[in-house]
Amino acid sequence: MSKASPQRLHLVFGGELVDPQRSEFKDVEKIHVVGIFPNYASAYAAWKAEAQRTVDDAHSRYFIAHLHRLRDEEAAASSTEELGN
């Protein structure tokens, strides 16, 4: 029996910021939760679509949160590990 690899869940969310130079949302009640994705590649694709959709609004910003890091804050992951390389 092989050991299953841990899930690498990612949350994509965003909304209007108070200031485009900071990561503070203008109204947390209006944060747009795009979804939770099973891997970085699909989260990145969702993030990119939302970022492109709001490109003309300098105060809108979307983020990818690495939910698996919340479960195990001691484990560091490299960017290549995120892509499965």
List, in order of start, the domains of the chain with CATH numbers: 13-73 (3.30.70.2400)
Q: Is the pLDDT of residue 36 over 90?
A: yes
Which residues lie across from 36 on neighbouring strands?
Answer: 11
User: Quick check: 81 pLDDT over 60?
Assistant: no
Per-residue pLDDT reduced to its tens digit, 43-64: 999 999 999 999 889 899 999 9
DSSP H or E stretch at residue 48 = helix 40-53
Scan for tokens 């892509």, then name that residue. Answer: 83
**pLDDT greater than 60 at residue 41:** yes
